[in-house]
Structure 1
Amino acid sequence: MKTVTPEDQLRETLAKPMFNTVLKAWVGDGTTDYEVYLRTAELLSLQTTLDRLTDPDELMFQIVHQAQEVWLKLLSHELAGVVGEVDRDALWETSARLDRAIRIAECLEREIGVLETMTPDTYQIIRRSLGNGSGQQSPGYNGVLAAAEQVAAALDRLLDRRGVPVAAVYSTEVAQPDLKRVCELLVDLDERFQGWLVAHFMLVRRTIGVGHGVNALDGVPTRVLTGRMTQPLFRTLWQVRNELTESWRRDGGYAPGAARESR
């Protein structure tokens, strides 16, 4: 006869409705307004049941990836809103939405850290049940790429309406601070997104490695991730940095330690 441990008892308790002492009501059966609105019964049934997990960490692996897909869905949704606002020249609203998008991207990167608590030997067990799945198949990831292309196109249309090339946005001779602010927020978002890809690369590196002969489940060598993680969403906004530096001159500056005129 199997001995029932306190852990077993706790897990059994957590699987049942629980009495909330503040509300003086039972919660967890899917009938409260909170549960109905968020569809918690359906949401919490989307993971493999405890008795069928290949390893206890598989639940963490599955939940984190599901959460990432939901965040990526929201990020794509916000980027679609950016397209509409940019096309309406509503740049104040655009800046507010981009601030939200940046925070979403930060959430994506932080969540990768949860997966890093899984050791390589544990992942090798979980990996046997993943088929040929890989991050390249992620609908959320591909959705963000598609949405970002449309944001870049909307920015091009905005620049055309203003009659301003990207380089001029960063010129002291062309004062368009609202446009400059939007461009910088897009760079912020792009940097966070690339940071997420870098975090994913490090996750892959510490779980299965990125050496020669190491392939993802879809057959793609893991070493190709080094190129993917540095591919920007908004290439033009990064290229302009190169152009500004290439055209830079020392004229007008001061020698180190030289007296400077007051402004």
Structure 2
Amino acid sequence: MSNHKGCPMSGAGATETSDASWHDAQMDFAKDMSYGDYLALDQILNAQHPLSPEHNEMLFIVQHQTSELWMKLALHELRAARECVRQDQLPPAFKMLTRVSRIMEQLVQAWNVLATMTPPEYSAMRPYLGMSSGFQSFQYREIEFILGNKNAAMLRPHAHQPQHLALLEEALRTPSLYDEAIRLMARRGFAIDAACIERDWTRPAGENASVEAAWLEVYRKPEAHWELYELGEKFVDLEDAFRQWRFRHVTTVERVIGFKRGTGGTEGVSYLRKMLDVVLFPELWKLRTDL
């Protein structure tokens, strides 16, 4: 170990020490779990199966597979955060929501990598994609539902996969993360309309004056409602990051395919631009004007 803080040892002595440590290590992985075993790397690294002869298809596959892994983690955190809010346990939820915002940043960067694919490169591999499209991502759809952008019509692309359809139907029927926050505010004494506490959870909440009034009180007296004040800011951070992800998505798609229709039959860029106007937590954004 180095005697100099912040500075690793260098030179022959360090090499000899490292070599000795290496030889002393237990390396019989037939009896124990290795790094690759723990991470199931054989399955993960052999899950890329390009269908075209194009060099760039590997980029396309890896970018989408890694994005799905990040979405899996985001859902793990969002479900847990929603449960924490439901149980009035906000401090753990803060950490989870912060983590999701950082995951969104990773997803933004993933689009930057895909943007290195030029239109001719994508066009060469596009015929091999069939009807496959990111629009069909059931994990992305659950993220939308848990954040409150509910739309039963979005179940249709998943009708051919019963297990995914059942998961999304449950997510559609379950109160969103924001719904649970509004119910929490009611439990803490804010005058929230009854229609916001028990309603048809399969529909988006829409703006509500009583909810905005409650958030305004929280933001005008943050020292008296610190946990809710922090929760509101975590929501704004999350939506800010989500908007950037959406914007980077539409920009990358326009850069690579222009205004062609998507492989799954969607309107492509036109549809994605409409999604930029969706506001997940409207009262938290409106109060900034009203404060």
TM over 0.5: yes
Which residue number in structure 2 is paired with residue 161 of structure 1? 187
What is the match of residue 43 of structure 1?
A: 44
**Does 2:251 correspond to 1:202?**
yes
Amino acid at match of 1:194: R
Sort the Cα spacing of 1:176 and 1:134 in 2 relative to 1 into closer, same or farther, 3 A: same
Shift of 1:142: 0.5
User: What are the Cα deviations for residues 170-190 of structure 1, in whole angstroms up to 9, with x where unaligned?
Assistant: 223882121111111111011
Measure, in 1, the Cα distance between the counterparts of 2:228 and 2:95. 13
Find the structure with the greater CA-based Rg: 1
Q: What is the alpha-carbon distance in structure 2 between the residues aligned to residue 109 and residue 123 of structure 1?
A: 20
> 1:149-180 CA distances to partner (integer Å, 9 max, x unpaired)?
32011111111111232222222388212111
Stretch of structure 1 that moved more, 89-98 or 198-207:
89-98
- The answer to whether the aligner puts 1:109 opposite 2:155 as a matched pair is no
How many residues are matched?
217
Distance 1:38 1:173 in 2: 44
In structure 2, the residue matched to 1:88 is: 87
Comparing 143-152 with 118-127, which one deviates more in the overlay? 143-152
Identify the residue that residue 218 of structure 1 maps to in structure 2.
Answer: 264
Q: What is the 5 A alignment of 1:162-201?
A: 162-164=188-190, 165-172=214-221, 175-201=224-250
**Residue ranges of structure 1 left out of the alignment (5+ in a row):** 1-20, 246-263
2:216, 2:287 within 8 Å by CA — same for their partners in 1?
A: yes
Partner of 2:220: helix, strand, or coil? Answer: coil
Aligned partners of 1:54 and 1:125 also within 8 Å: no
Superposed displacement of residue 132, structure 1: 1.4
Give the Cα–Cα distance (whole angstroms) in 1 for the partners of residues 78 and 126 of structure 2.
Answer: 33
Q: Is the 8 A contact 1:78 1:97 kept in 2?
A: yes
Structure 2 portions without partners, runs of 5+? 1-20, 149-175, 191-213
SS of equivalent to 1:170: helix
8 Å CA contact retained: 1:194, 1:232: no
**2:131 equivalent in structure 1:** 132
2:74/2:100 contact within 8 Å kept: yes
Q: Give me the whole-angstrom Cα distance separating, in 1, the residues matched to 2:115 and 2:136.
A: 21
- State whether residues 101 and 237 of structure 2, in contact with CA within 8 Å, keep that contact through their aligned partners in structure 1: yes
1:224-250 CA deviation, whole Å, 9 max, x = no partner?
Answer: 2111123133233223335x16xxxxx
3-state SS of the aligned residue for 1:133? coil
* 1:128 match: secondary structure: helix
Aligned to 2:5: none
Q: Per-residue CA shift, 1:186-239, capped at 9, x if unaligned? A: 1101110110010000101100113xxx21112222212111123133233223
Cα contact 2:57–2:125 (8 A) shared by 1: yes
Q: How far apart, CA to CA, are the structure 2 residues paired with 1:208 and 1:136?
A: 15
Identity of aligned residues (%): 31
The answer for the alignment partner of 2:288 in structure 1 is: 241
- Return closer, same or farther for 1:57/1:161 CA change in 2, 3 Å cut-off: same
User: For 1:120 and 1:26, how far apart are their aligned partners in 2?
Assistant: 49
**Structure 1 residues 171 and 117: CA distance shift in structure 2, 3 A:** same
Q: Which amino acid aligns with 1:235?
A: P
- Measured in 1, the distance between the counterparts of 2:34 and 2:277 equals 44
Q: Is 88-97 or 66-75 further displaced after alignment?
A: 88-97
Do the aligned residues in 2 keep the contact of 1:106 with 1:196 (CA within 8 Å)?
Answer: yes
- Cα offset for 1:111? 1.0
- Quote the RMSD (CA, aligned, Å): 2.5
**Superposed structure 1 runs of 4+ greater than 4 Å apart:** 21-27
Structure-2 change in CA distance of 1:142 and 1:173 (3 Å): closer
Determine the structure 2 residue equivalent to 1:231: 278
